[in-house]
Chains A and B, each alone.
Chain A
Amino acid sequence: MAVSSSVKRVYSSSVFGVAVILATMCAVMAVLTNKFLTETNIVSVVRQFSFISIMAIGQCMVIITGGIDLSVGSVFAFSSVISAMSLAAGAPLAASLLVGAACGMAFGLVNGILITRVKLPPFISTLGIMSVARGLSYAVTSGFPVNIKSADYAFLGQGQIAGVPVPVLLLVALAAIASAFLGRTVLGRRIYALGGNEEAARVSGVDIDRVKVIVYVLCGALAAIAGIATASRLGVAQSTAGMGYELDSIAAVIIGGASVKGGTGTISGTIIGASIMGVLRNALVLLSVSAYWQQAIIGFVIILAVSMDQLRNMAKA
């Protein structure tokens, strides 16, 4: 009961702050340009951040346990490449999707085992896997992009249902499942418990290693889904896809109110965090900001957003 109410308190407070920041950014953009609130633009922005958001859901769970997963960008590439290659080799649609997801889960499992059994720090284990998965993507493709010719496969990233892009629906579904999983299941609460205080969780009988392995497997699976959806969106899977996306996903989680120390973080906050970055990138394009200034502005806004949220939390405490 006490755990549940404290989780709820963190939940409502952290999400509220970033939601206000997002709403403010949208309002400012709507005033600055009449191009922001058009249907085409909103669909484009939402679809763009849906890929990073799907990946960030997994990253969020990992960060709640106090870990980090640097391999997601490479796993994103490897899974999509393998999935597209198996499709090209004649595998049925479902099989090619499952093979891709299985690749993600396999890398997650390796991360989980290295972290729990070999006791590698998550930073090192996932850094190594980042290199391995990227390297294997180059090796299996020799650097060439893999074309996706199946219209059914393309539907996953390019299709729309009732005007809403399929990857966005996929994100909503996955976010709802992940939110319910974290908030309402025993395993989900254990993830928070172990991030809050690993030793206390261990003493109270939580099988810490098992929980961690599950979390990294889920993170790998979500990175794979994001990779497959992106490849489907572009009609091509490439070994260089997803470079630097690990940092985007970590930033989304942290902007969304999670702590790198573990124990806090929410799926809704994470998705708002990803939205903030998506709206920001879109704003720079719509306002024709020169590429030479964009990076500095992105960094500045991220720091501003997180600082404002932090100050608000300090004032409340």
Chain B
Amino acid sequence: MRKVLVMVAVALAVFGAAAYGQGAAAAGKKLVIAVVPKSLNNPVFLESKTGAEAAAKELGNVEILFTGSPDPDSSAQVSIVEGLIEKGVDGILIACNLAEALQPVIDKAVAAGIVVATYDSDSPKSKRAFYVGSNNYDFGRVSAQRMNKLLPKGGKVAVLTGIVGIANLEERIKGFKETLDKDITLYPIQTGEDDIQKSVEVVNQFTAANPDMSAWWFDGGWPFIANPSALTELSKFVKRGGKVVSVDSLYPMLQYLELGMADVLIGQNMYACGLQGVKNIANIVKGGKPPAEMIWTDMEIVTKDNVKAVKAGKKPW
């Protein structure tokens, strides 16, 4: 049943992309660069769209085509890239749901003369020109470094993840575990199942059940998308000295720093992914020299000291 849905979604997406692209072609000899996020339902990727559009504006002759499947589904992504090859776009910047699944179609696109690059999640064995993004292991590593500083005397840390078994989250957890000081121990990992309501309840219930907990680490920002008034137990937790470090630094999350309900947010710089990805693709299409194979974007580390400046630079949701 899922396949039928995916096929319908893909057909619509490709149809839409084709219609849009024809319009662009008619307008002049603009380069068309497609940006394909992991899914359309994850607001994290919207900042990559903003970055890509900023690059297009700066370059002047580039049209951005932001297209993807509603849910993070690699077979749907394959079909979307096939549609883009059919259409003959000039470049593709894609965040791969599954490296291996996307490899053949990326190679097919490259063979068709399209410049392909990856962002956020790479397909390292494919013939893509370069990857731009941060390393998931590093999110965990930097989170743990911050945690070590916050807990100089050690302590017990709870971990909230999304869906278990998802490669990028597992990488983050690995980096976190391997960097933590020896006197910091972990509770068994908890999951909010990638759902904001479930994440909020798990955080509240687990916090209330473990009064000797020293800190929370969220390997993604789910609970902080909700309003702070929903996280009653977390609010009590920080008042009695509890620490909170979270991956992601999306706009609604910043208020938690201002309220003292989070100590450090570590975000992916999606804007930079979109911006640098599109600029470099455009440069290669025009005959320029390819950049380094791996372009590492900065992690955005936000604390109460720089939250004002970071907030001013983000578009409110």
Contact = CB atoms under 8 A, between A and B. Distances in A.
Interface in A241-265: 241, 243-244
- 8 closest A-B pairs by beta carbon, nearest first, are A235-B227, A291-B191, A290-B188, A234-B226, A35-B209, A286-B209, A285-B205, A291-B189
B205 A239 contact: no
Interface string A114-146: 000000000000010001001100100011110
Given A44-B208, A144-B43, A286-B209, A291 B190 contact: yes
Nearest to A231: B197
B227 A154 contact: yes
B206 interface: yes
B209 A233 contact: no
Contacts of B46: 142-144
B161 A236 contact: no
Chain A interface residue bracket vs B = 35 or more
B229 interface: yes
A288 interface: yes
A290 B189 contact: yes
Nearest to B227: A235
B284 interface: no
Interface string B183-205: 00001111101111110111011
A282 B205 contact: yes
Interface string A38-49: 101100110010
B84 to A, nearest CB: 20
Contact of A134 (B8, B70, B164): B70
Nearest to B208: A40
A289 B188 CA distance: 6
B61 interface: no
Contacts of A236: 196, 225-227, 252
A49 B191 CA distance: 17
Interface in B194-249: 194-198, 200-202, 204-206, 208-210, 225-230, 233
A79 to B, nearest CB: 15
Given A127-B1, A144-B46, A292 B197 contact: no
B283 interface: no
B11 interface: no
B209 A33 contact: yes
A69 to B, nearest CB: 15
Interface in B39-71: 40-43, 45-46, 70
Given A142-B46, A144-B317, A291-B164, A41 B225 contact: no
B73 to A, nearest CB: 13
B230 A235 contact: yes
Contacts of A44: 201, 204-205, 208
A147 B164 contact: no
Contacts of A148: 227
28 contacts: A35-B208, A40-B208, A41-B209, A44-B201, A48-B197, A138-B41, A138-B70, A145-B317, A147-B227, A147-B317, A154-B229, A230-B197, A233-B197, A233-B230, A234-B200, A236-B225, A241-B195, A244-B195, A281-B198, A282-B205, A285-B209, A286-B205, A288-B190, A288-B206, A290-B188, A290-B189, A291-B191, A295-B164
A238 interface: yes
Contacts of A142: 46
B292 interface: no
A244 B2 CA distance: 13
Contacts of A138: 40-41, 70
Contacts of B198: 281
A288 B229 CA distance: 25
Nearest to A240: B41
A131 B204 CA distance: 32
Given A134-B70, A236-B252, A143 B209 contact: no
Contacts of B1: 127
B218 to A, nearest CB: 13
A96 interface: no
A41 B211 CA distance: 13
A141 B5 CA distance: 21
A192 interface: no
A294 interface: yes
Interface in B159-180: 161, 164
A239 B252 CA distance: 16
